[in-house]
Structure 1
Amino acid sequence: MKKYIIAGLLVWLPLAITIWVLLWLTGMMDGMFHGLLTALQTVLPVALGEALERLRHIPLLGAVVMVLILLGTGVFVTNIFGQWWLRQWDRMLSRIPIVKSIYSSVKQVSDTLFSSDGNAFREAVLVQYPHAGSWTIAFVTGRPSLEVAAHLPGEHVSLYVPTTPNPTSGFFLMMPRSAVHALHMSVDEALKYIISMGVVAPPPPAPPALPGGADPNRRG
């Protein structure tokens, strides 16, 4: 019986977690949509406010509207006028006390992580952490700043060591380049390896191709 229960759990658990994540995302989008409706109801006439109230009860409307808003915003800010408007928006927020500290920090991190031109999380490496003889997977996020690098002997790299099974929390380290071992696995494969606590191992790297297209695994 235990064998069959575990087999059934392995079938339904990934589906249940997938549904839970999707429900969490749609719930978050619905909450943002309801907040937008509440803000509009405070400035619009009563008749329009009552019409907007009926939109709250349409299933998945909030998720659809928020996706369309994100899509429209992305299309808008990728043209010349949208980029000019975005610069003005950033300049305005950077002049507001308290807000400018939070906004500028979050924007700098998000631009670094999600920009296609950034180098964050582009390489998975193997390092000794938290002590010698204990190894873990980390991600190279860049190099120490000039002020910090001036106090470090030799070449160092900045690393992010995620925790498992939740990789959104972790530790920021600066280690000598010589103590960092590059891995062939991709960032996605390394994240799966970390989240699964080592259960889902990445595939072995493909052998180098031989001259003339010969198969390196062929014998004789």
Structure 2
Amino acid sequence: MHAARKWFFAGLLVVLPVAVTMWVLQWIIATLDQTLLILPNAWQPDRLLGFHLPGLGVLLALGILLTVGAVASNFAGRKLLAWSDGVFHRIPVVRSIYSGVKQVSDTLFSENGNAFRTAVLIQWPRPEVWTIGFVTGSPGGDVVNHLLGDWVSVYVPTTPNPTGGYFVMLRRTECIELRMSVDEALRYVISMGVVVPPAVAPSLLK
């Protein structure tokens, strides 16, 4: 029984990551395949080919993103983008959603963005309890009028799902910069501390 239990858990450690990875990939492909619905019925690949070919939606979505990116990168595209931004900002309700999403996407995906560039060690949710957070910038707006000193904005992810978490503002001196990449820090969080990055000497956040 001891050997059988050992083999069971050894097999689980091998099969589970593969199964979860395949499930996630299948979900992503199935979701992106929905982009084919924007084509007219007469142009649907299933109708033209006579059978369903998984992954065509992924290629279509990639093509759309590359095309839109190429158009938005030139002078005419930037003018068109500015015009569309103005239209969305004039529509009630829509402008609130659009503005929020655009600010987040600009911060996360812009080449000049500073989101999630630094992993830090902080005491959370109480003193003497430590966790990993990610510096997302500096406090702004009216908040700066109520915070004396040098503060930073930090995102504290949950584990094993880092898409949920907490936004906190801490004194810069209370954050210890970690000499590890954001990917290494995220793997550390997602694995609940199992996948440990190489140990290096930390330094105070500058």
Partner Cα distance (1:86, 1:163) in 2: 35
Structure 1 partner of 2:58: 63
What does 1:102-117 correspond to in 2, within 5 Å? 102-117=97-112
Structure 1 partner of 2:7: 4
Q: Give the % identical residues.
A: 53
Question: 1:59, CA displacement in angstroms?
Answer: 2.7
Structure 1: segments with no counterpart, 5+ residues: 41-48, 207-220
1:26 equivalent among 6, 29, 54: 29
Structure 1 partner of 2:131: 136
Structure 2 partner of 1:205: 200
Q: Deviations over 1:49-83 (max 9, x none)?
A: 34536158333222221111112112221122211
Partner Cα distance (1:62, 1:139) in 2: 34
SS at 2:47 equivalent: helix
Please tell me whether the aligned partners of residues 185 and 197 of structure 2 are also in contact (alpha carbons under 8 angstroms): yes
Partner Cα distance (1:199, 1:89) in 2: 47
Structure 1 partner of 2:93: 98
How many equivalent residue pairs? 195
1:168 equivalent among 160, 163, 175: 163
Structure 2 partner of 1:81: 76
Please tell me whether the aligned partners of residues 122 and 174 of structure 2 are also in contact (alpha carbons under 8 angstroms): yes
RMSD of aligned residue pairs (Cα, Å): 1.7
Give TM-score scaled by structure 1 length: 0.83
Partner Cα distance (1:11, 1:93) in 2: 49
**Which of these two proteins has the greater Rg computed from alpha carbons?**
1
Structure 2 partner of 1:186: 181
Partner Cα distance (2:181, 2:55) in 1: 34
Q: Residue 29 of structure 2 aligns to which amino acid in structure 1?
A: T
